[in-house]
Amino acid sequence: MATMQSVVASSISFGASKNRATLESPKTLYRNNTHLPMRVRCMAQDGEKEPLKPITESAPSTQPKPAAAPSPPKPKMSTRFTDVLAFSGPAPERINGRLAMVGFVGAMVVELSKGQDVFSQISNGGVSWFVGTSIVLTLASLVPLFKGVSVESKSGGVMTSDAELLNGRVAMLGLVALALTEFVKGGAIV
């Protein structure tokens, strides 16, 4: 069985500043100097005799490199009601996180300005504010999802969809921690 073996001759490149020759490894030669000629030698093994072919040098390639293939279009996300509102779907955690962010900031502002804890805020008209805010944020979050726009497609820079999820999770934990702390303490934190 005949096998092909390629031998890459080490090239000598002359330094411009010191005018001395340095040897380059074949890996560097291939990676950096693809325009240099390559020598190929064919050898027969296992007793098969093949005529030796002369060492040839290839000319530099003048063909343009092929253009990168365009990436396949991203599949459009499902707009079915059950897919959007599924437990692992795009809507539930985002809506809850957005509500928690608004709720935490609102609770802290009212607590700092009026000195009321979370439970006092809820009993003094906070339920209607909560329901109204929930409806507005839920509709504002669902409309783009039902149109097939993914949250990831609208994120960029610092304001990414992953940052929104993380901030929402922290706000949910912060709101629960605020309520538990005020319940244990028996009043507002501030």
Q: Which of 97, 96, 120, 98 is nearest to 110 (CA)?
A: 120
CA distance 42 to 7: 9
pLDDT of residue 68: 65
Q: The tokens of 168 are what?
A: 């929402």
What's the mean pLDDT in 63-76? 61
The model's pTM: 0.55
Instruction: Flag whether pLDDT at 57 surpasses 50.
Output: yes
Note whether 189 and 174 are within 8 A (CB). no
What's the mean pLDDT in 117-133? 89
Instruction: Write down the residue that tokens 């009321």 correspond to.
Output: 116
**pLDDT tens-digit map of 6-38:** 443 333 333 444 444 444 455 544 555 555 565
pLDDT of residue 21: 44
CA distance 147 to 137: 16
